[in-house]
Structure 1
Amino acid sequence: MTRYALITGASSGIGLALAEALARRGRSLILVARQRDQLESIAIELTQRFGVDVLFRACDLGEPLRLSGFLLELEEGERQIDLLVNCAGIGSSGPFLAQDWMTEQDLMEVNILALTRLCHAVGNSMALQGGGQILNVASVAAFQPGPWMSTYYASKAYVLHFSEGLREELKTCGIQVSVLCPGPTRTAFFGSAQMDTAKLDRSQQLMSAEEVALYTVRALEKNKAIIIPGRRNRWLAFSPRLSPRWLTRKIAGAVNKAYCSR
């Protein structure tokens, strides 16, 4: 029976790059994102280029009823998923009190609740079939508080700690859990989070989504617990341990405020 890698947030950025990297290795895919037209063209292209089976499902993970419907389809279907990649994510920047509440709620629905629910549903299926692998996408932001992006940073801290906890819990079920913590990456994330993309585009520190994906799939093959692509990003993740919390907050806040577009 063909087994599939299920990837959320697969229409662009790191999710799309991971889909291509896995297809290149002969993996069959189920791609999930909000944009149906983009998913369809991506599925056709990956099938033609790599000769793998690529399915897709347009689903807004921020809407619990639609997510429930999608999970029901998976449960009633016959396709086995042996790799779950939770890459869908939303960002926001600027003063917390100035944010539209529905945007903040959507962020938490996608970054936290949908990810957790997918781990629960697909994890149970994996346990029944004897094992599998889960990759949750967090960020180097997970290692510290982030003023002017407070909700986003906190959501990624949840993903990091949740994934590490699951890794220990699910070992006995034959399920390997890893968490990807990329640094700043050249994707559409910054524009959607209302950050100053002109400043970011001039930065020489950003990795490409393809670089992140290549590093990640190699780390997954080695069953790495925490995956941080790039030496500079590994330093960014480690450095908060060396500074007092008040200084970490101030530095992160100053950096984030400088890139806010409002």
Structure 2
Amino acid sequence: MTYTLITGASSGIGKEFARVFAQKGHHLILVARRIHLLEHLKKELLKDNNIKIELFPVDLANPSSAKQLFETITARGLLVDHLINNAGVGSWGPFVEADWQEQLRLIQLNITTLTELTYLFARQMLTYHRGTILNISSTASFGGGPYMALYYASKAYVTTFSEALAEELKDSPINIQVLCPGPTRTGFEKAAGMKHAKMFTWVPTAMPQAVAQAGYDLMVSNRKVKYHSANTHVFNLTARLGPRSLWRKAAAIINGIPRKK
């Protein structure tokens, strides 16, 4: 018996991933901080799907969390053949005015934990000669994003890391993929404290259900990178072909320039 492991599974895109994979008959390992939300989701999914679901209430922003999670799953004999690194956090405002501990938390969750989970499970998958790892990035990875500088940089890392690893392992029995959705209606802007953002009013937004379905479609294909929706293709072309200064200025406006007090 094999499992699909989804991080950040209690809400947003992660929750929709759980629904999609449950409908396809996958046994699930769901990871998030809030156990009550995981339990509610498990109850919902078991009503209509004959699958097994294991819950792990873990704060993946804790530096030791990735190793502990991997070791616990392995000790229980749970075999992961699909890993979806979905957990992430945003931060809004001038970088030099930000709380440093919040910035460290972002780096740990968006970069370090994702990298460590990829490392640990990829090595294990190679021993079993099968597996797929999907890392969730963003259109934010296409260029610098003023007032969300660290978040944009973290997603640039996720995209380029995933692309490089996919090439390294192209002749192996495992597949590394990255999904780059645009703005998605998940409550991200509230969680990130985006007070004056135009991102969710000026830019067409996606629903998390559609993003999760796109992620599933990617995982059952041999593709390495997917830009969800036509808008993300436009953003990618703009970032690659246009002046980088144009991207930065546009990103600053879309992200929401802080108002002077």
TM-score tier (shorter):
over 0.9
Q: Which residue of 2 aligns with 1:121?
A: 120
Distance 1:223 1:50, change over 3 A: same
- Contact preservation (8 Å) 2:85, 2:136: yes
Q: Which residue of 2 aligns with 1:148?
A: 147
Q: Which residue of 2 aligns with 1:165?
A: 164
Q: Which residue of 2 aligns with 1:20?
A: 19
Structure 1 position 61 matched with structure 2 position 60:
yes
- Contact preservation (8 Å) 2:186, 2:208: yes
Distance 1:242 1:198, change over 3 A: closer
- Contact preservation (8 Å) 1:195, 1:259: no
How many residue pairs match? The answer is: 261
- Contact preservation (8 Å) 2:169, 2:175: yes
TM-fit CA distance, 1:201? 5.7
Query: SS state of the match for residue 207, structure 1?
Result: coil
Supply the distance in 2 between the matched residues of 1:258 and 1:17 (Cα, whole angstroms). Answer: 31
Give the letter aligned to residue 88 of structure 1: A
- Contact preservation (8 Å) 2:198, 2:256: no
Structural mapping, 1:107-118, within 5 Å: 107-118=106-117
TM-fit CA distance, 1:203? 5.4
Distance 1:162 1:202, change over 3 A: closer
Q: Which residue of 1 aligns with 2:135?
A: 136
Render the CA deviation track for 1:167-200: whole Å, top value 9, x for unaligned.
Answer: 0122333111110100000002111100138966
- Alignment RMSD: 1.9
Distance 1:204 1:242, change over 3 A: closer
Supply the distance in 1 between the matched residues of 2:158 and 2:118 (Cα, whole angstroms). Answer: 11
Supply the distance in 2 between the matched residues of 1:92 and 1:45 (Cα, whole angstroms). Answer: 31
Give the letter aligned to residue 187 of structure 2: A
Structural mapping, 1:223-238, within 5 Å: 223-238=222-237
Render the CA deviation track for 1:132-161: whole Å, top value 9, x for unaligned.
Answer: 000000000101111110000000000000
Give the letter aligned to residue 185 of structure 2: R
Query: After TM superposition, which residue ranges in structure 1, 4 or more long, deviate above 3 angstroms?
Result: 196-204
Supply the distance in 1 between the matched residues of 2:258 and 2:7 (Cα, whole angstroms). Answer: 27
TM-fit CA distance, 1:259? 8.1
Query: SS state of the match for residue 64, structure 2?
Result: helix
Render the CA deviation track for 1:17-56: whole Å, top value 9, x for unaligned.
Answer: 1111111111111000011111111112112221211111
Query: SS state of the match for residue 178, structure 1?
Result: strand
- Contact preservation (8 Å) 1:179, 1:225: yes
TM-fit CA distance, 1:12? 0.5
Structural mapping, 1:1-262, within 5 Å: 2-196=1-195, 202=201, 205-258=204-257
Supply the distance in 2 between the matched residues of 1:85 and 1:109 (Cα, whole angstroms). Answer: 17
Q: Could you list the runs of 5+ residues in structure 1 that have no partner in the other structure?
A: none
Moved more, 64-73 or 171-180: 64-73
Supply the distance in 2 between the matched residues of 1:5 and 1:143 (Cα, whole angstroms). Answer: 28
Moved more, 67-76 or 5-14: 67-76
* TM-score, scaled to structure 2: 0.94
- Contact preservation (8 Å) 1:14, 1:187: yes
TM-fit CA distance, 1:237? 1.8
Moved more, 175-184 or 74-83: 74-83
- Contact preservation (8 Å) 2:93, 2:258: no
Distance 1:43 1:197, change over 3 A: farther
TM-fit CA distance, 1:219? 2.2
Percent identical among aligned pairs is: 38
* TM-score, scaled to structure 1: 0.94
Query: SS state of the match for residue 83, structure 2?
Result: strand
Moved more, 40-49 or 205-214: 40-49
Query: SS state of the match for residue 64, structure 1?
Result: coil
Supply the distance in 2 between the matched residues of 1:118 and 1:203 (Cα, whole angstroms). Answer: 35
Moved more, 46-55 or 68-77: 68-77
Query: SS state of the match for residue 91, structure 1?
Result: coil
